[in-house]
Every structure is written in structure tokens, then in C-alpha cells.
A = this chain, B = another copy of it.
Amino acid sequence: MTTSSPGGRDRRPGERGDLLDPRCPTRRLLDRIGTKWTSMAVKVLAEEAPGELRFAELRRRIPGISQKMLSVTLRSLVRDGLVARRVEPVVPPAVHYRLTELGLSLEGPLRALRVWAETHMAEIDHSNRLADESSPDQRVDRMR
């Protein structure tokens, strides 16, 4: 998602002057969870609750995520107060992450979305397939 403005304006929560909805909570939330790895990180942490997971463990449980993106994602979640970060001051640093209460409270809505997705993505795929077979010609001469 894209909260900030590619070609428009958009402000921090406090600024005003926007012509369009400036701080619509829903859009802001979707900009966060719509970010490629956030919801997966929350899910993984939620399944582990109330335990904690270390950086490397999280990475193992989120197939395909890069070290950079896990770092970025976690930093964002911590900043938002959805995840708590605990550093154990041992030799090779051990950092633990866990959902805060706020983060945990997001799991319900997120799970509902997951259930919907698992239940209905096949229908969406079917609809797309129908569109693909019944229009490629029109598309060719009106698009491209």
C-alpha cells in the first residue's frame, strides 16, 4: 500500500490542508497491514503467543522474507506499538519479539480476513479465469 503520496499530497496525522480524507483510520491501517509482510509477521507472532520469538526464528517462519524486510517490518510494528522488542544483553545479542495487547487485538479482524480469503479466493480465481477467456480479443484492440 502506499500511504504517502506518489503524485499527490498526504500528511502526517497532525497536518491538515488535504483535499481528500487526510487521516482515514482504515486507509492508514490498510497501508500498514497491506504491506507485504506485516500481516504474516503478526500471524506468526500470534500463533506463538504468549511466547516470544527471536529474529532468526521469525525469519524461519516467514518463508521468503529477507533480513532487511523482516527488520523493516518489525521496526514498524514496534513503532506502532503492536509488537514489543526485548533485548537480552548477552554476548551474541538475543532479541525477542512478542505481540502487545494492541497487536493481539488486531488478530481477530486479521483472522476473519484470512478465513474469508481461504474461503473465497477460489471464486475470485474462477471469476478471473472467466474474464480471461471471454475477452482477450476485445482487450487486444482496445488496450495495448
Give A residues with C-beta under 8 Å from B: 1-2, 8, 13, 18-21, 23-31, 33-36, 39-40, 43, 63-65, 79-82, 102, 105-106, 108-110, 112-118, 120-121, 123-128, 131
Contact = CB atoms under 8 A, between A and B. Distances in A.
Contacts of A126: 81
Contacts of A2: 36
Contacts of A113: 26, 29-30, 109-110, 112-113
- Max chain B C-beta neighbours (<10 A), residue from A105, A108, A114: A114
Contacts of A108: 112, 116
A110 B120 CA distance: 14
Given A81-B126, A108-B116, 7 more contacts: A1-B35, A13-B125, A25-B114, A26-B118, A27-B40, A30-B34, A82-B124
Chain A at the B interface: SS class: helix
Query: This chain: how many copies in the complex?
Result: 2
A123 B81 contact: yes
A72 B82 CA distance: 33
A58 to B, nearest CB: 15
18 contacts: A1-B36, A8-B64, A19-B63, A20-B63, A25-B114, A25-B117, A25-B121, A26-B39, A27-B40, A30-B34, A30-B39, A33-B34, A34-B35, A79-B131, A80-B124, A105-B116, A105-B120, A112-B112
